[in-house]
């Protein structure tokens, strides 16, 4: 299992929850997002999914390949949508009559600004995990549910993400930050409880010798690893047994 989709999806959800208005419901990959519109006080639904992942490998290095991930952000509108303007005023759009695309534009703009520019910790961490965005696909739809049409938009962001953590080592850098934010999370949806699971997946028997972890990360069999002698690098020339290597000139003109 790749840990990258989980990390990027969680960062996306929390970053959008922190920036979008409280009148917008941001959820992590619901099976039936349209059912969330069937409540007494309907509000826009933003559902986040991590879709297809294409990973390119060299040899058997399954954990160390280069991957592209599709991050899907789906926005669904209720019959009316209200949002505040910068001057403190409020505007309400009846999406059944007009302005549905405008409402989608407003929400999408908020989401993009949140991921690109927000100083909120989850958004900043999102930019650590998503190294670049080669392409973005943005499509609007009319979805019929129980005889009623729902305006929706799906934006798919092609992401070139950070590499998988090296198995068997302590979480570092972005992965350590992710664990810290997860453990400090107070949303009440159980994210903080997953921190121990994630750390365990990254450490993956941290007591294994470094040479064994390196061989596994390179996708080498034990026989091949022993043949090519996967060993720790020497820190200095003094650690090498035998005579010192002396460079001799090969050209008579050498001075």
Q: What are the pLDDT digits (tens) for 168-206?
A: 778 889 999 999 999 999 988 899 999 999 999 888 755
Q: What is the pLDDT of residues 133-151, one digit of tens each?
A: 999 999 888 887 777 778 8
Is a pLDDT exceeding 70 seen at residue 95?
yes
- Residues ≥6 apart with Cβ < 8 Å to 49: 9, 29, 71, 72, 74
pTM of the model: 0.76
User: Which pLDDT score, from 0 to 100, does residue 246 have?
Assistant: 45
Which CATH code, of 3.30.70.1700, 3.30.590.20, 3.40.50.300, 3.50.50.60, is assigned to 4-164?
A: 3.30.70.1700
Domain extents for the chain? 4-164, 166-231
Contact 26, 20 (CB under 8 A): yes
Question: What per-residue string of b and e applies to 190-226 under the rule 16 or more CB within 10 Å gives b?
Answer: ebeebbeebbeebbbeeeeeeeebbbbbbbbeeeebe
Q: Which residue has the higher pLDDT, 242 or 213?
A: 213
Residue given tokens 């979008």 in the structure block: 20
Average predicted confidence (pLDDT) for the chain: 80
């Amino acid at each position: 299992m790749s840990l990258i989709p989980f990390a990027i999806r969680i960062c996306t959800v929390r970053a959008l929850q922190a920036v979008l208005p409280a009148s917008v419901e941001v959820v992590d990959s619901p099976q039936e997002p349209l059912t969330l519109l069937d409540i007494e006080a309907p509000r826009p639904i933003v559902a986040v999914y991590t879709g297809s992942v294409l990973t390119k490998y060299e040899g058997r290095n399954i954990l160390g390949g280069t991957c592209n991930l599709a991050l899907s952000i789906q926005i669904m509108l209720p019959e009316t949508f209200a949002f505040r303007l910068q001057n403190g005023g409020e505007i309400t759009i009846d999406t059944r009559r007009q302005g549905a695309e405008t409402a989608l534009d407003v929400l999408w703009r908020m989401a993009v600004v949140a991921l690109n520019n927000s100083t909120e910790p989850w958004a900043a961490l999102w930019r650590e995990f998503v190294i670049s965005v080669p392409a973005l696909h943005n499509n609007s739809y009319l979805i019929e549910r129980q005889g009623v049409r729902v305006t929706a938009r799906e934006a798919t962001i092609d992401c070139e993400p950070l590499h998988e953590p090296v198995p068997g080592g302590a979480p570092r850098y972005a992965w350590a930050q992710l664990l810290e934010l997860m453990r400090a999370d107070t949303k009440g949806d159980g994210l903080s409880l997953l921190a121990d699971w994630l750390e365990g997946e990254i450490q993956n028997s941290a007591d294994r010798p470094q040479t064994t972890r390196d061989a596994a990360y390179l996708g080498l069999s034990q026989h091949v690893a022993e043949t090519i002698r996967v060993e720790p690098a020497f820190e200095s020339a003094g650690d090498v047994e035998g005579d010192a290597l002396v460079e001799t000139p090969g050209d008579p003109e050498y001075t």
